């Protein structure tokens, strides 16, 4: 049966490309985003009381996927990208309907003449993600005691992240130019790269000479390599679209 849904808001995220986005919400607690609603009476009334909750569920659309047809089996990175699992037993974005669900911390609600901004942290959203619905996180109903998660156990190990000579200074200079908090952005970068955003099939190439990865955060391009389980940030520069390079 055909279903028509309309977005109610748009997410402005620090993650401006797919590579590097945490694979689950909550893995990068410092990741900041805002959910932008149009400032009108309907939205003001609809959001009344939400500020009394510390966390919210965000139902959203995977709006920038390249999949032409959903597959019944996917290969989760947590299983090394080699074992196939039914799509309904995973959080893969390659789904029959490209709908995501994430629980994030709600910091504050900021109304203005043109927008109502929900400031959130810990999200796994691509910039400009359309929001389909929002619901409050209700601990007595949503937190399930003695639950089992099979292969999706909590992440207990993170790869160390180091900054090569001059890279922190480059980040600080860019942030100063843009009026952004350098300490906060440094934290997001470190938390994100510590999760090893590389595809699972590439991780066995750890230490390969010349292998370099690029992650976009806001308008910054962060280059890093991994050797012996340690990620080294090699360069931080302003991102330039290909036609401007």
The CATH number of the domain holding residue 193 is 3.30.2310.20
- Alpha carbon separation from 201 to 20, 76, 80, 99, 205 (Å, rounded): 15, 11, 7, 26, 8
Q: Average pLDDT, whole number, for the chain?
A: 91
With a cut of 90, say whether residue 107 has pLDDT above it.
yes
Number of domains in the chain: 2
What is the sign, positive or negative, of the torsion defined by CA atoms of 135, 58, 24, 158? negative
pLDDT digits (tens, 9 = 90+) for 185-233: 999 999 999 999 988 888 777 666 568 899 999 999 999 999 888 999 9
pLDDT grade for 244, boundaries at 50, 70 and 90: low
Residue range 168-196: average pLDDT? Answer: 95
Q: Is the pTM of this model over 0.75?
A: yes
pLDDT bin (cut points 50, 70, 90) of residue 160 is very high
Q: What range does the domain containing 13 cover?
A: 9-63+98-142
Q: Give a yes or no: residue 36 inside a domain.
A: yes
Please say which residue of 85, 109, 142 terminates a domain.
142
Tell whether 51 and 111 lie within a shared domain: yes
Q: Please compute the mean of the pLDDT values over residues 63-82 and round it to a whole number.
A: 83
List the single range of 47-61, 68-82, 130-144 with lowest mean pLDDT: 68-82
Per-residue pLDDT band for 38 (boundaries 50, 70, 90) equals very high
Cα 169 to chain centroid distance, Å, stands at: 25
Same domain as 119, residue 41: yes
Give the whole-number percent of the chain exceeding pLDDT 90.
Answer: 72
One domain, residues 109 and 210: no
Residue 152 is predicted with a pLDDT of 79
Query: Quick one: 192 and 228 in the same domain?
Result: yes
- Report, in angstroms and rounded to the nearest whole number, the Rg of the chain calculated over CA atoms: 19
Domain annotation covers residue 75:
no
Is the pLDDT reported for residue 135 higher than 70?
A: yes
90 lies in a domain?
A: no
User: Which pLDDT does position 245 carry in this prediction?
Assistant: 55
- In a shared domain, residues 114 and 232: no
pLDDT range class, residue 59, cuts 50, 70, 90: very high
Residue 72 lies in a domain: no
Q: Name which residue leads in pLDDT, 179 or 203.
A: 179
Q: Are 116 and 224 members of one domain?
A: no
142, 174, 205 - which closes a domain: 142
The mean pLDDT value for 110-122 works out to 96
Residue 201 lies inside a defined structural domain of this protein: yes
Is residue 68 in a domain? no
Question: What is residue 60's predicted lDDT score, i.e. its pLDDT?
Answer: 97
Which pLDDT value is given to residue 209?
Answer: 58
User: Are 107 and 49 in the same domain?
Assistant: yes
Residue 27 falls within a domain, yes or no? Answer: yes
- Is residue 184's pLDDT more than 80? yes
Do 109 and 191 reside in the same domain of the chain?
A: no
129: domain CATH number is 2.40.30.70
Please, is 151 exposed, middle or buried when counting C-beta atoms within 10 Å of its C-beta (0-12, 13-18, 19+)? exposed
Do 178 and 238 lie in one domain? The reply is yes
Shared domain for 191 and 231, answered yes or no, is yes
- The verdict on 126 and 174 lying in the same domain is no
> Looking at the structure, do residues 107 and 199 belong to the same domain, yes or no?
no
Q: Given this model, what pLDDT does residue 34 score?
A: 98
Q: Are 20 and 197 in contact (CB under 8 A)?
A: yes
- pLDDT of 208 reads 61
- Which residue is listed with tokens 């036609």? 243
Of 142, 175, 199, the last residue of a domain is 142
């Amino acid at each position: 049966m055909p279903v028509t849904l309309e977005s109610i808001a748009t997410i402005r995220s620090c993650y401006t490309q797919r590579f590097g986005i945490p694979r689950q919400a909550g893995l990068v607690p410092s990741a900041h985003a805002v959910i932008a609603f149009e400032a009108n009476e309907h939205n003001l009334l609809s959001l009344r009381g939400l500020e009394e909750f510390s966390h919210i569920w965000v139902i959203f659309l995977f709006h920038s996927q390249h999949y032409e047809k959903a597959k019944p089996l996917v290969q989760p990175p947590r299983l090394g990208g080699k074992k196939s699992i039914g799509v309904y037993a995973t959080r893969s974005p390659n789904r029959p309907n490209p709908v995501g669900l994430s629980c994030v911390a709600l910091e504050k609600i900021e109304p203005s003449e043109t927008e109502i901004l929900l400031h959130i942290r810990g999200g796994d959203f691509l910039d400009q993600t359309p929001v389909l619905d929002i619901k409050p996180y209700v601990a007595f109903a949503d937190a399930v005691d003695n639950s089992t998660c099979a292969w999706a156990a909590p992440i207990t190990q993170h790869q160390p992240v180091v900054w090569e000579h001059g890279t922190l200074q480059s980040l600080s200079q860019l942030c100063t130019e843009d009026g952004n908090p350098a300490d906060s952005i440094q934290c997001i970068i470190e938390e994100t790269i510590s999760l090893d955003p590389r595809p699972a099939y590439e991780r066995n190439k750890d230490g390969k000479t010349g292998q370099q990865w690029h992650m976009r955060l806001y308008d910054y391009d962060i280059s890093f390599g991994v050797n012996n389980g340690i990620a080294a940030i090699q360069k931080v520069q302003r991102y330039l679209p290909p036609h401007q390079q």
